[in-house]
Amino acid sequence: MELKNRPRRLRKTAVLRKMVRETRIDKSSLAYPLFVTEGNNVKEEISSLPGQYRYSVDRMEEKLTELMDAGVSSVLLFGIPAHKDEVGSGAYARDGIVQRAFRQAEKSCPDLYLIGDVCMCEYTSHGHCGVLRGKEVDNDKTLELLAETALSQVQAGADMVAPSDMMDGRVAAIRNKLDAHGYEETPVMSYAVKFASSFYGPFREAASSAPLFGDRKSYQMDYHNRREALKEALLDVKEGADIVMVKPAMAYGDLIREVKDHTNVPVAAYSVSGEYAMAKAAARAGWIDEAGVMCEMAVSAFRAGTDIYITYFAKELAKCIDQGIIG
């Protein structure tokens, strides 16, 4: 048969396949979510996230060092306070759990890039992402507290802040607050396209952040909507977001691509707790190759247009990159 075009020619050897690879991943693109809790000498496994732990401030250095040794240079910190109240005061307290964690991390691992998740759900007694007015989250009253939270994290040592609350106008409020206090160079990575997703279940156990009543569908997005995702991303860029995020990652590759094509800023994707837990559970049952699925999930996000990949598999992916399995 006379075939001039034979795509299989470029698949013949491992060297050639890697030479013509279209999607490439670097360890510097990975970020790891870390949970920091009150107490001393705490390293507590999270039952719904096998292999993931809550660390007290005095124990987190071992994990941070482990990540840096693997080549993962960015960490997204989540704080779990001992006490909560209706206005989430622990989120913006100078001596709050995540603020103390930033100070310690900056001191013990100065080369690590520290990102602060800016939200209130871990800190409010009701579990919602802002101040309540009756049974509803008061958008505008929440903005000032989010801005105070971001400022407190930067003052404590955060290199970047990442608002995840989905309040309208939060990026502008945070940008204005940081600029007014001399932090014009601190970037904001917004959870711009964050859906009300069932993939978040394990995280809510990990961070003790499930709402006591109702749900978050009045502020997190409806997963049926594509145009609304673009609207949110473009609004955040207009308000001053330096990076925009799509969350979750695995089921939303189409929107990662859309956001990438319609904005001029880097795009992050968060491979969330449910994605990790499903892979772990299926692997434990012997149904899938965990490493293979982990790599395929990551590559799919980068292929869709991701520049920064937030994942609980960061250390394992870094190892796969070193081994040439992906990258």
Q: CA-to-CA distance for 3 and 76, rounded, in angstroms?
A: 51
> Among residues 37, 209, 207, which one has the least CA distance to residue 127?
209
Tokens of 306: 């991701």
Q: Is 194 a catalytic residue?
A: yes
Name the H helices within 84-226: 97-108, 139-156, 170-180, 201-206
DSSP symbols for 58-117: TTHHHHHHHHHHHT--EEEEEEE-S--BTT-GGGT-TT-HHHHHHHHHHHH-TTSEEEEE
Q: Is 247 a catalytic residue?
A: yes
Backbone angles phi, psi at 112, to 5 degrees: -80, 140
Residue with tokens 């100078």: 94
From the candidates 27, 247, 260, 315, give the one annotated as an active-site residue: 247
Give the tokens for residue 273: 């707790």
Contact 162, 118 (CB under 8 A): yes
Give the span between the Cα atoms of 132 and 319, in whole angstroms: 44
Catalytic residue among 27, 84, 194, 280: 194
For residue 133, give the H/E element and its range: strand 132-133
Supply the residues annotated as catalytic: 194, 247
